[in-house]
Chains A and B, each alone.
Chain A
Amino acid sequence: MLKNKNIAIITAQHLEGRGLRSLLCEQFEADAACVFATPYDLSENESNNYDLFFVSSDLFILHYDYFLPRKNKVIVFGNTLSSDYQHAIQPFLNIHATEEELAEQINALLKAAIHHENSDGLTARETEVITLVAKGLLNKEIADSLGISLHTVISHRKNIASKLGIKTVSGFTMYAAMNGLIAIN
């Protein structure tokens, strides 16, 4: 199921990461899974190449800004469902379980993740752009903050508009708020 997929497992608990990796490897053929201690161990380039992130709940909260643009690819794991990110509607893997239960959970999450990705089809970059638009940045500021050209920002915005069928800035902001890209206040 995960054959040839680039998978990053990010946790401060090395043993936990190793365990999850071997489980993914044995049960889901995830032969290309790597374990990292923090998301900053991945370069920008590498980050965009990963198809799926398994992130421990504490690191997910700590590096929320990093994971937000990639939220369609993130599965959070931890012991209990922490109330801190319940609002984020992020796929959650409860690791306090037997091997069979774990496999079952992962299976269900993967199916949901694939479904979710297709539902609006925004790329990681487009998600970053829409998040910044929603925060009220101008095209020029978005270009500077992402290190891309103004022209690219405009073309991203056109693509987002056609994918979502939303045209106005207020609409983008609302989309971002409803989909957990920005905080609701």
Chain B
Amino acid sequence: MSLILSDMKLSEVILHHYVLMPVIRRFDIKLGFGEKTIRQVCEEHQLDTELFLAVLNLYINHSYAIERPLTATQVSATVDYLKKTNALMLQSQLPNVERHLQALMGNSFAHNKTIGLIHNFFAEIKKELLSAIEHDNAVRFPYINQLICKENTLIDSPAETQLAQDPMDEKIFDLRSILMKYLTGEADQNLCYAVFFALYTLENDIRQYNKVCDELLNPAVAHLEKSC
């Protein structure tokens, strides 16, 4: 499917790209939008159509170039979207993976060390993810808000969190591929699938989150910093 445009029916777009379900959830769009086009849905929910389209298109790997940097209002909306993404990760996605992993451990023999290893690896990823979210909420987003309100005379730009560590989405990718290739011993296949898909969703969301930051938010923040 080509680029998603504002006169397309939202329902058709979502049916075609079911991966967009979590995106509309984060924009607080509830199901039941009938035959409305994307523009109509956005107007109804007081969403910025341009930003909405940019996020949707990024998510399905189309580069949807916004000619100019995001406006201050759009930046603020993007931050809201990212906050919501973080909140949902904490509320549902991480617990989801954990629930499946716990069940998998419980259903397998105690001596199945490989499942224990998968659990440990995930615990490491989770810790890293939590601290990244904490940094976003405590440092980065407040800083951007102050930039928007032009109150930044006193604060310095927070240091980038990108450490020498491997990117989290790549770690989850590795975890998935190891789970698939090297799992030994007795394991409940049904639960393995559940863990695999829960990890896949998480990995994809982290990747999309980073993309929104790299392609939409960061250039806009840089622009705001310059204009201050």
Chain A residues with CB under 8 Å of chain B are: 87, 89, 165-171, 174-175, 177-179, 184
Interface residues on B, range: 20 to 34
Known: A170-B174, A175-B182. 15 other contacts (CB 8 A): A87-B113, A166-B177, A166-B178, A167-B170, A168-B166, A168-B167, A168-B174, A170-B121, A170-B166, A171-B166, A171-B171, A174-B118, A174-B175, A178-B178, A184-B113
- Interchain CB contact under 8 A, B184 and A174: no
Q: With contacts A178-B182, A179-B182 known, is A171 near B175, CB below 8 A?
A: yes
Tell me if B114 counts as interface (CB < 8 A to partner A). Answer: yes
- Interchain CB contact under 8 A, B117 and A171: no
Q: Point out the residues of chain A lying under 8 angstroms from B177, CB to CB.
A: 165-166, 171
Using CB atoms, name the residue of chain B closest to A178. B182
Q: How far is the CB of A168 from chain B (nearest CB, A)?
A: 4
- Interchain CB contact under 8 A, B170 and A168: yes
Q: Point out the residues of chain B lying under 8 angstroms from A175, CB to CB.
A: 178, 182
Q: With contacts A166-B177, A170-B174, A178-B178 known, is A184 near B117, CB below 8 A?
A: yes
Which of B116, B121, B178, B183 has the most chain A CB within a 10 Å cutoff? B178
- Interchain CB contact under 8 A, B174 and A171: yes
- Interchain CB contact under 8 A, B178 and A174: yes
Tell me if B124 counts as interface (CB < 8 A to partner A). Answer: yes
Q: Point out the residues of chain A lying under 8 angstroms from B114, CB to CB.
A: 178
Q: How far is the CB of A170 from chain B (nearest CB, A)?
A: 5
- Interchain CB contact under 8 A, B113 and A174: no
Q: Point out the residues of chain A lying under 8 angstroms from B178, CB to CB.
A: 166, 171, 174-175, 178
A167 to B170, CA, bound (A): 7
A162 to B113, CA, bound (A): 26
A167 to B203, CA, bound (A): 14
Q: How far is the CB of B179 from chain A (nearest CB, A)?
A: 9
Q: Point out the residues of chain B lying under 8 angstroms from A167, CB to CB.
A: 166, 170, 173-174
Q: Point out the residues of chain A lying under 8 angstroms from B170, CB to CB.
A: 167-168, 171
- Interchain CB contact under 8 A, B117 and A177: yes
Which of B167, B174, B177, B183 has the most chain A CB within a 10 Å cutoff? B174
Q: Point out the residues of chain A lying under 8 angstroms from B117, CB to CB.
A: 174, 177-178, 184
- Bitwise, B156-186 to A at CB < 8 A (1) or not (0) is 0000000000110011011101100011100
A67 to B136, CA, bound (A): 47
Q: How far is the CB of B164 from chain A (nearest CB, A)?
A: 10
Q: Point out the residues of chain A lying under 8 angstroms from B182, CB to CB.
A: 175, 178-179
Q: How far is the CB of B157 from chain A (nearest CB, A)?
A: 28
A175 to B184, CA, bound (A): 12
A–B complex contacts, Cβ < 8 Å, 14 sampled: A87-B113, A167-B174, A168-B167, A168-B170, A168-B174, A169-B166, A170-B166, A170-B174, A171-B174, A174-B174, A174-B178, A175-B178, A177-B117, A178-B178
Q: Point out the residues of chain A lying under 8 angstroms from B175, CB to CB.
A: 170-171, 174
